[in-house]
Chain A
């Protein structure tokens, strides 16, 4: 029996249980960032909401906070390594960052999706992580699933079947 672990906003999950499927449903501007060490079958997923903490807007703990793209990536990586993953084997995949709101006068005002993607790329570069695959941007919501058993990551958009990335 498969066990679905659903991630809410700003949540993360790391698992080595082959029964587990890590899921973030209906990502819009949010990013689902997955890391997998295929050798030890460890998979992690973080559901990040905003690019970075705004200056002084929140007294959040950077170590436990997964709401922001930069901290989320750093913290997920740290947790994977702490759990036994080998940094050089980690496969990174990224999904989401869409701009759902397309209408005159609204389009670019709150394009958090694009800012999330940019922040993620900067963070990956800083941490020297390569992105193996990404399905980001555009104007549609996406569901991301991470299958611990076979190291697969899938994406589904509205009205379509899920596919591997």
Chain B
């Protein structure tokens, strides 16, 4: 059981970093499969962030961004929100649609659907990897894709976690296709208690 945040930080962050690192690498495998070329990822940076500090850490709250949101259920319940800066999302759409960089100017329903599918794939691969390492299973919901101000998208993370979690996990990583780099933030809102129990099980097994 996680008794408090300090304990969570000390004992479990290292293990979580390893597990999410594997998860992100696995997400890149899914990504590569979807675009049919090898996508690499940078080493993800994992942080445990106090809920109300989220906007301060992210900054650029009025900037346009794309959010891909999923919930997952099973042994562990939680939510994942991917946030990609808008211009980077256009580049990502170029990549997904197999067109030259700069061709996609706006995100229509086809592009949104492709981004949603990518989010779905990445988070599924990510969750599968985590499920495997903690010997649990969970199923993701269909993705919701939104285009709005960063602050407004983050409000979903804050509002859904608010009153339940004091902290959320941020995994910051870069997906790279040669010189193309897409910065992505994964916000993960797990049920902290259940997560602690799962990780504890892993530690003692």
Contacts and interface: CB of A to CB of B under 8 A. Distances in A.
B163 A26 contact: no
Interface stretch (A50-58, A75-83, A84-92, A117-125): A50-58
A112 B71 CA distance: 17
B148 A103 contact: no
Given A57-B163, A67-B52, A143-B62, A29 B145 contact: no
Q: Give the interface size bracket for A toward B.
A: 20 to 34
Contacts of B162: 49-50, 112
Contacts of A8: 52-53, 55-56
B150 interface: yes
Interface in A90-125: 98, 100-106, 110, 112-113
A142 interface: yes
A100 B153 contact: yes
Interface in B153-177: 153-156, 158-160, 162-164
Contacts of A154: none
Nearest to B146: A100
B164 to A, nearest CB: 8
Nearest to A52: B163
Contacts, number: 111
B156 A26 contact: no
Given A103-B142, A106-B141, A141-B148, A26 B158 contact: no
Greatest chain A CB density within 10 A among B61, B67, B147 is at B61
A28 B154 contact: yes
Greatest chain B CB density within 10 A among A9, A57, A98 is at A9
Interface in A21-79: 25-30, 49-50, 53-54, 57-58, 67
Contacts of B149: 25-26, 28, 141-143, 158
Greatest chain A CB density within 10 A among B51, B142, B153, B163 is at B163
A84 to B, nearest CB: 30
Contacts of A102: 144, 146
Given A9-B54, A104-B142, A158 B163 contact: no
Interface of A: 8-10, 25-30, 49-50, 53-54, 57-58, 67, 98, 100-106, 110, 112-113, 140-143, 156, 158-159
